Amino acid sequence: MTTPQRIAELLKKAADHTATAEELQELADFVQHDPSGERALEMEALLRKDAAPRQAYDQAHWNKLADQILEADRPQPAKIIPWRSRAWAAAVVLLLVSSTTYWLLRRPAAVKEPVLASQPQKDIAPGGNKAVLTLGDGTEISLDSAGNGILAQQGNTKVIKTRNGELQYDAPQHGGQMVFNKIATPRGGQYTITLPDGSRVWLNASSSLRYPAVFSGRSRVVELKGEAYFEVSKQAGQSFVVKVEEMEVKVLGTHFNIMAYDDEPALKTTLLEGAVEVKKADVVRTLKPGQGASLHRQSGTLELLPEVNTEEAVAWKNGFIQFEGNDIRSVMRQVARWYDVEVVYKGNVPAHFRGIVPRNVPVSQVLKILELTGEVHFEIGDRQIIVSP
């Protein structure tokens, strides 16, 4: 039985361009006998510790390696191997595109032979840390181009860009100038901010957060558009409230995610730790960890979700695009926001997906994985992706 340690070793050799034909065959055999992907998950912890290629990422090398593994794993006429096993065989070579990530397609078995997408002539880079900070006097600061250190001072509050490229506030605990700031990310951008009370917020692409430079009174109120993950610091006698359109999320100290994009059918709150109250008018839903709430735009109904996939909800914050049975349009909305592209559909594309892909790779790699379903095809144009059956 091939151990996780041995698989990690084989993947490192593949990344270093030193894997022999026999070692590639061994890797293919592992994939062939792991149709569910369960053993692949066992080695994930090892890959997170040390899976970084010691040589620069080489597109041609990985494409060739994919072909080799697919060829080694190709079933004989009398031997049918589950589709997802062969799909993983192709996609396993993308494991080390991100130094600490893995990818596993967990779609139900199918009979179609997966075909790797041809490398497009054009490609689109992933998003990155991009945001604009608007101060109380209307001054705008581009955070991705600003230098580290103190960016501005509003009364006794200092606005600082840290060495690791995050925004941080050094504010007095009480009093201070009452002005509001706003941080906004574009499509293809994300940013992390530590608010004046010490709470941390991760903003996803095409999102904004409005907040005071100093929190005072009995509540800390912020306004969100788009998507953000919150780690709220506990403040005795001072609640934390996130206003999102017609919905309010009230907490004392907790970790949660809010997704409220204009082009999504519902506003979703997912609780990872602590407790929150989600309110719309006089309807209140109290969440426990592992639960969520969904405010449906069309009906206006606030629904309690007793069990949610918290990993999927915060995958973006951890550097992934994750989908659990999502339809093609839901998946491509995520892709469009992160890669800042327009998505055009030609024909009826009914594909659904389950899987995880890293967000730090060119869009062609994401599309290549999605094409393994055999039900969808992509073409990349000038900041445009064309989707067809």
Q: Which of 60-64, 122-126, 177-181, 370-374 has the highest mean pLDDT?
A: 122-126
Any idea which fold 128-313 has?
A: Jelly Rolls (2.60.120)
pLDDT of residue 340: 96
What pLDDT, on a 0 to 100 scale, did the predictor assign at position 369? Answer: 78
Region 21-39: mean pLDDT is 60
pLDDT at 389 over 80: yes
Q: What is the pLDDT of residues 202-256, one digit of tens each?
A: 999 999 999 999 888 888 999 999 999 999 998 887 889 999 999 999 997 799 9
**Which of 21-30, 74-83, 181-190, 233-242 is predicted most confidently?**
181-190
Determine the pLDDT at residue 177.
63
pLDDT digit string (tens) for 130-140? 999 999 999 99
pLDDT mean over 6-10: 71
Task: Label residue 68 by pLDDT band (50, 70, 90).
Answer: low
pLDDT score of 354: 74
Which sequence spans correspond to the domains of the chain? 4-97, 128-313, 319-388
Q: If you average pLDDT over residues 186-208, what whole number do you get?
A: 96
Class of domain 319-388: alpha beta
For the segment 65-72, the average pLDDT, to the nearest whole number, is 49
Banded pLDDT at 370 (limits 50, 70, 90):
confident
Model confidence at 303: pLDDT above 90 = yes
Return d(Cα 267, Cα 285) in angstroms, integer: 14
Which is more confidently placed, 87 or 267? 267
Residue 190, pLDDT score: 96
Please report the pLDDT score of residue 351 as a whole number: 77
